[in-house]
C-alpha cells in the first residue's frame, strides 16, 4: 500500500463551508469518495491493493464492503464510497473489483448504514499539496459546460489551499489511523 495517498480536494467543497487546508495539518474526515471514468470490473485477485497511476489516480483491487441501489463502498486498504453503478452489474458485498479510481475528500455522502459510515472515519496528515491548474475547455456533446483538458494537465506545489486559487487540489496525505469514531449526532447523508 502507498505510504501517502493522493486525495483530491475540490474548491467547491471549500466554498460549501469546509476548511482551507495546509501542509503539516492533521484532520479527521469521514467521507473519502472514489470516482472512475470507467466501470470497475470483477477482480481476478482477492488481495486488496492500490498502485499509483497517472494524474494522481490509483489502480485498485478492493473488496466490496457495502452495495445498495445508490452507493458502493470498496476497501482497498481503507474504505471509500462511490456510486453503485461504478460496480459490475449484479456485484454483491464480499466480491472483489478492480479498476482505476481517483479519491476525493467530500462532505456529503450517499445514504449508508450507520456502522458502514462510521467505519470510513479516518485521520489524515497532509504531507504535500498540489494546486490543479489544468485548464478547462468548452464542453462537448455530453452536455457539459466545460470539461478538464486532459491534454494540458498541470499541477503546482503549494503550502496551502489559500496560496493559489484553483478548481481543485491534490492533498498527499498519510493515513494516521483507521478506526471508528464516536457516534455522529448529525445526519450522515444529504441525499
Would residue 121 count as lying in a domain?
yes
Residue 190, domain member (yes or no): no
Residue 189 within a domain: no
Report residue 63: phi and psi, to 5°.
Answer: -90, 135
In a domain, 187, yes or no: no
Distance CA 53, CA 6 (A): 10
Helix (H, G, I), strand (E, B) or coil at 56: helix
Is 134 a domain residue? yes
Look at residue 171 and tell me if it is in a domain.
Answer: yes
User: 149-165 pLDDT, tens per residue?
Assistant: 888 999 999 999 999 99
How many structural domains does the chain have?
1
What does the block give as the cell for 139? 464542453
pLDDT at residue 36 is higher than 50: yes
More confident residue, 97 or 141: 97
- Mean pLDDT of the 50-57 span: 95
Q: Which helix (H) or strand (E) holds 42?
A: strand 41-42
Residue 191 within a domain: no
What lies within 8 Å, CB to CB, of 186 at 6+ separation is none
Distance CA 101, CA 72 (A): 13
For the cut 90, the answer to whether the pLDDT of residue 177 exceeds it is no
Q: Which residue has the higher pLDDT, 180 or 87?
A: 87
pLDDT tier for residue 108 given thresholds of 50, 70 and 90: confident
- The mean pLDDT value for 18-43 works out to 95
pLDDT score of 178 more than 60: no
Structural domain contains residue 77: yes
What's the mean per-residue pLDDT of the chain? 88
Which pLDDT value is given to residue 3?
87
Whether 184 has a pLDDT exceeding 70, the answer reads no
pLDDT for res 143: 61
Query: What residue numbers bound the domain in which 171 lies?
Result: 5-178
* 3-class secondary structure, 126: strand
Over residues 72-94, the pLDDT tens digits come to 999 999 999 999 999 999 999 99
Amino acid at each position: 500500500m502507498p505510504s501517502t495517498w493522493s486525495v483530491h480536494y475540490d474548491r467547491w467543497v471549500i466554498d460549501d463551508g469546509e476548511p482551507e487546508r495546509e501542509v503539516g495539518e492533521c484532520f479527521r474526515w469521514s467521507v473519502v469518495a472514489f470516482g472512475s471514468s470507467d466501470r470497475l470490473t470483477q477482480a481476478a485477485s482477492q488481495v486488496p491493493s492500490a498502485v499509483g497511476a497517472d494524474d494522481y489516480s490509483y489502480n485498485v483491487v478492493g473488496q466490496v464492503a457495502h452495495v445498495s441501489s445508490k452507493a458502493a463502498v470498496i476497501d482497498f486498504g481503507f474504505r471509500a464510497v462511490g456510486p453503485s453503478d461504478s460496480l459490475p452489474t449484479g456485484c454483491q458485498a464480499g466480491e472483489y473489483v478492480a479498476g482505476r479510481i481517483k479519491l476525493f475528500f467530500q462532505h456529503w455522502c450517499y445514504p449508508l448504514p450507520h456502522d458502514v459510515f462510521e467505519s470510513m472515519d479516518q485521520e489524515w496528515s497532509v504531507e504535500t499539496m498540489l494546486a490543479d491548474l489544468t485548464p478547462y475547455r468548452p464542453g462537448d456533446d455530453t452536455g457539459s459546460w466545460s470539461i478538464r483538458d486532459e491534454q494540458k494537465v498541470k499541477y503546482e506545489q503549494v503550502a496551502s489551499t489559500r496560496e493559489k486559487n484553483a478548481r481543485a487540489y491534490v492533498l498527499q496525505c498519510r493515513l494516521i489511523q483507521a478506526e471508528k469514531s464516536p457516534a455522529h449526532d448529525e445526519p450522515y447523508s444529504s441525499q
